[in-house]
Amino acid sequence: MKKALLAVALTAALANTAHANIRINGFANFIGGMASEDRVVSPTQDPLYGYDDNISFREESLFALQASGDVNDRMSATVQVLARGENDFEVDFEWAYLTYRVTNNMAVSAGRFRLPLFRLSDSLDVGYSHHWISAPQAVYDVPFNDLDGFRIDYSDFAGDWEYKLGAAVGTFENEISAGTIEGDNTYLVSAEVSNDWLSIRSVYGSAKTTFDQPDLNAQITDQLSAVAPGLRDFLLMEEDTARFVGVGVQIDTFDWFVGGEYTDIDIEESYTPKDEAWYVTAGMRFGKWTPSFTYQSFKGDEVKGLDELAALGEPLQTAITPSLMAINGVFAQNYTVTSATVRYDYDSNIALKAEISRYSDDLNDTRDATLSRIAINYVF
């Protein structure tokens, strides 16, 4: 509701300000894909990124419009509406924020905006700007991409190097795994240096995180409240401190490129495993053609709570261990994805892509699968 009210206010500001120089642009991704049959082993088997052995053009397709305008000499407003195929193309306000240009080097934004977690955060949904069909999900698929709050950006040059410093503070809320995750007192700081061919970026963030999943919370509370309240408090994710660390490197000579990112997400006092994710990607440009390869890895299968469980002694340790392992197993993941992608620049604003990926699950080989996708990305 607050996001919608802010978006309406910003839209009104754009429409009613006499000085506004309104700019409207947009982008779209039309993506079709199908996973191999070897993954679809039962009616309860999760599809791969939403795809099963029937071709689908809904899961990753989207359409977006963005309007921005000058409110006055130093202030501008930006609104982005986006419709995703996975949400039946229901229109949602993705971004809605005001930006105040303090100096030529510093800007302050307030509202709802993309949290600058990654190298490609601001252009994450703009498929045309990437060489792959979608950014590596092992790294980029996190439930807290957008933030309601404030953001400060500073950039300048030191010789041939450009450096960018950023900070953000606010809150986030998102639906995930049949529950709701909230982040209070969220803050993030980032730094990036780059020249003509090299870019290096680092980021650190923290939040007081609460995950409300009724069935899971009820299971923890019902089984542990009477016999092990300390373990219950450890497992429940209620205002627990979450930490995010990320680094990224990109080398791009225009003829060829290679890059990668690494992230580490940990909520120490909870049942969720520590997640370590990374990818490397490389490709070459031959006129309108850009072939590339990407390898990504995700590891998050640590079992938490064993020390707290051991402190209870027997017979509680033996009695509670199966439940603890089951709870940890809900979020445990350990997999790799290898992808080969070909991009063809059909026009100055249209790109055609084809990609084949092999998903290998180290915890359950029945989840292994091959994913084939095609895409049309355009901007206007």
> Which pLDDT does position 307 carry in this prediction?
81
Strands (E) located in the chain: 23-35, 62-70, 75-84, 91-101, 106-114, 146-158, 161-176, 179-194, 198-212, 240-252, 256-267, 275-284, 289-300, 333-347, 350-361, 369-379
pLDDT category at 326 given cuts 50, 70, 90 is confident
> Which pLDDT does position 41 carry in this prediction?
46
pLDDT category at 365 given cuts 50, 70, 90 is confident
Indicate if the pLDDT at residue 252 is higher than 90: yes
Please report the sign of the dihedral spanned by the C-alpha atoms of residue 295, residue 268, residue 304, residue 143: negative
Mean pLDDT within 115-139: 95
CA distance 203 to 222: 39
> Which pLDDT does position 232 carry in this prediction?
81
CA distance 316 to 313: 6
Indicate if the pLDDT at residue 379 is higher than 90: yes
Kindly give, in sequence order, each residue whose CB lies less than 8 Å from that of residue 206, ignoring residues fewer than 6 positions away.
185, 186, 187, 188, 241, 242, 243, 244
Indicate if the pLDDT at residue 223 is higher than 60: yes
> Which pLDDT does position 11 carry in this prediction?
55
> Which pLDDT does position 43 carry in this prediction?
44
Mean pLDDT within 85-108: 94
CA distance 219 to 324: 10
Six-digit token pair at 180?
């709701």
Domains and CATH numbers, the chain: 96-379 (2.40.160.10)
H helices present in the chain, as ranges:
2-16, 137-140, 214-224, 229-235, 306-310, 316-331
CA distance 273 to 24: 42
Q: Does residue 43 have a cis bond before it (omega within 30 degrees)? A: no
Indicate if the pLDDT at residue 1 is higher than 70: no
> Which pLDDT does position 334 carry in this prediction?
95
CA distance 298 to 264: 10
Tens digit of pLDDT for each residue in 22-53?
899 999 999 999 998 766 544 445 678 889 88
- Within 10 angstroms of residue 283's Cβ, the number of other Cβ atoms is 19
Mean pLDDT within 129-134: 96
Higher pLDDT among residues 9 and 133, named by residue: 133
Higher pLDDT among residues 76 and 316, named by residue: 76
CA distance 308 to 232: 10
- Within 10 angstroms of residue 288's Cβ, the number of other Cβ atoms is 12
Higher pLDDT among residues 291 and 49, named by residue: 291
> Which pLDDT does position 14 carry in this prediction?
54
Angle in degrees, 0-180, between the axes of helices 214-224 and 316-331, rounded to the nearest 10: 170
Mean pLDDT within 218-233: 78
| Mean per-residue pLDDT over the chain, rounded | 89
Indicate if the pLDDT at residue 139 is higher than 60: yes
Mean pLDDT within 132-140: 96
Mean pLDDT within 329-353: 94
pLDDT category at 312 given cuts 50, 70, 90 is confident
